A and B are shown apart, each in its own frame.
Chain A
Amino acid sequence: MAGEARDLKTDTRPVKVKIENVVKKFDGRNGEMIALNGVSLDIHENEFITVVGPSGCGKSTLLNIIAGLLPATSGRVLCNGKEVTGVGTERGVVFQQYALFPWLTVQKNVEFALNMRGVKGKQAQEEAMQYLEMVDLAKFANHYPKELSGGMKQRVAIARAYAADPEVLLMDEPFGALDAQTRTQLQTELLETWEKKQKTCFFITHDVDEAIVLGQRCIIMSARPGRIKDIVDIDIPYPRDQETKLSPRFMELKNHIWGEVYKEYLEVRK
């Protein structure tokens, strides 16, 4: 694929996640459904990858396979050179539905992640507060999730994912359920966090603007069966913010990516 060849020349960072010819089939009501048909991709260390594509293109399935929550039908995923056979703490996930534990306070939700990697008691409490400060929610430490807005919930989820200290952060349309204003706010915060604490990010979205403003590379997927259609380098320098969305280069990239995705939508509707 053209995208990958170009990438190998420019990106000298070591490969963090290697996706090798992953195929995923589901047994559905109407026989076998191919969700992913031979997806290969190298994700480099500290790279921010965004994935766009029409619904049903298998982008969530791919994320779940990388996370180890779903097995691939064939092909494999390597993380740090080791084959993924299940979940692992080096790979964290942020879900669209926040997935906060409703019976735990905000702080206890973050502590959960710390407890799981062996940080206990007072130490965990203090560290949890640091992660909450990172997402500006220290004031809400003792609130329950039901008392928070959607945007705040997702910030807690991000704090919790960071608290688990994964090397790879997999995000499945994390801002998909939020209103436009909250969404741009969280994009900015995520950019700032990522620039401060670099991590390998794999970020799924259906919002092309979001894919461009966040990512270093944007993967465009096609539907039925899900494949990588194109990989676009987002050559806009960081630090980026919402004003980035007004730059001419952004517009160019948006035109290109949006056109590709739109073609896929038309394809799916046929």
Chain B
Amino acid sequence: MKAKKKSVVDRIPNWAWLLISLAVALLVWTALSFGEKTGRSFCHPWEIPGIFVTVAFERGILLSDIASSLLTVVAGYLIGFVIALPLAILMAWYRPVRYVVQPWIQFIRNIPPLAYVPLIVLMLGVGRQPQITVITISTTLIMSITIYQGVVNIDETLIKAARVLGAKDKDVFVRVIAPASLPFILTAARLGASTALTTLIAAESVGSGLGLGMRIRAFNSNYEPGPMLLYIIIIGIIGLIIEKLIKFVERKLTGWQEKREI
């Protein structure tokens, strides 16, 4: 560790580092856009605003694609959460449920959703329903495992402490287990949101008329790398915004924690 004076690294504020990081990325991107092979995938950064105007206003597809994808993601994610929470609690409380269900959650979790999408299409056909189903499956798996692990790892001394103070089962659940699980539930919510987005492309591969994932494949078939890149960046930005939102809620609700960060 270097001591003495504050080093240059420390003296530059975080927002400035963000700008520097952005500048470096733009520089790398620009370099790539001039490469013979890499230039095929990467348009020049300064072309992006023009492409944005084209897809957003002239062709008018961007907003409806975002809306469609968000609807799919949010619906699948919310259903996933509603299933995952009680499932996790059941797994934590009833060992038979744990022993029967958990191995399969682990098993399916490691299969890329793209692999089982055709099976879902066979059952549900094309349209929004199978898309939501794919996202529900992937988010349920990750969220139930995360919440379950949190609930079983609740510090048992806290439950003991509540009991010796006279807490009944109901008190223990409402006043100890629920608040103690909250950090894990929020972590699960964050991981679930990121899974929902990464599953989007697979989900929309079932064939749909709208959506960010579907559009990227359409751009691909028409050889439009510029709009493709723009859409990819937009997916990244949406992910970032969702993560920041959930982190904000986490800080508000679980600021009492000794340490966190996953």
Contacts and interface: CB of A to CB of B under 8 A. Distances in A.
A93 B160 contact: yes
B165 A160 contact: yes
A141 B72 CA distance: 46
A142 to B, nearest CB: 12
B158 A92 contact: no
Nearest to B161: A99
Interface stretch (B110-118, B176-184, B194-202): B176-184
Contacts of B157: 95, 97, 99
Contacts of A145: 256
Interface in B210-226: none
A129 interface: no
A116 B161 contact: no
Interface in B138-194: 155, 157-158, 160-167, 171, 175-176, 179-180, 182
B257 interface: yes
B164 A93 contact: yes
Nearest to B179: A103
Interface string B114-126: 0000000000000
B258 interface: yes
B160 A146 contact: no
Contacts of B165: 89, 92, 112-113, 116, 160, 164
A262 interface: no
State the main secondary structure of chain A at its contact with B.
Answer: loop
Contacts of A91: 164
A140 to B, nearest CB: 14
Contact of B160 (A99, A100, A160, A164): A99
A69 interface: yes
Interface string A131-152: 0000000000000111000000
Interface in A37-76: 67-69
B158 A99 contact: yes
A69 B163 contact: yes
A102 B257 contact: yes
A103 B256 contact: yes
B256 A117 contact: no
Contacts of A101: 158, 161-162, 175-176, 179
Which among B155, B167, B176, B256 has the greatest number of chain A C-beta atoms within 10 A?
B256
A102 B166 contact: no
A87 interface: yes
A16 B155 CA distance: 31
Interface residues of A, number: 25
B160 A144 contact: no
Which among A97, A103, A164 has the greatest number of chain B C-beta atoms within 10 A?
A103
B258 A146 contact: yes
A104 to B, nearest CB: 8
Contacts of A117: 166
A45 to B, nearest CB: 20
Contacts of B254: 103
A95 B155 CA distance: 13
B258 to A, nearest CB: 5
Contacts of B163: 69, 87
A99 to B, nearest CB: 4
24 contacts: A69-B164, A87-B164, A93-B160, A93-B161, A93-B164, A95-B157, A95-B160, A95-B161, A99-B158, A99-B161, A101-B158, A101-B162, A101-B175, A101-B176, A102-B256, A103-B180, A103-B256, A112-B162, A113-B166, A116-B162, A116-B167, A146-B257, A160-B165, A164-B165
Interface of A: 67-69, 87, 89, 91-93, 95, 97, 99-104, 112-113, 116-117, 144-146, 160, 164
Given A99-B155, A103-B180, 20 more contacts: A69-B160, A69-B164, A87-B164, A89-B164, A89-B165, A95-B157, A95-B160, A99-B158, A99-B160, A101-B162, A101-B175, A101-B176, A103-B254, A103-B256, A112-B162, A113-B166, A116-B167, A116-B171, A144-B255, A146-B257
Closest 6 CB pairs of A and B: A99-B161, A116-B166, A89-B166, A99-B157, A103-B179, A93-B164
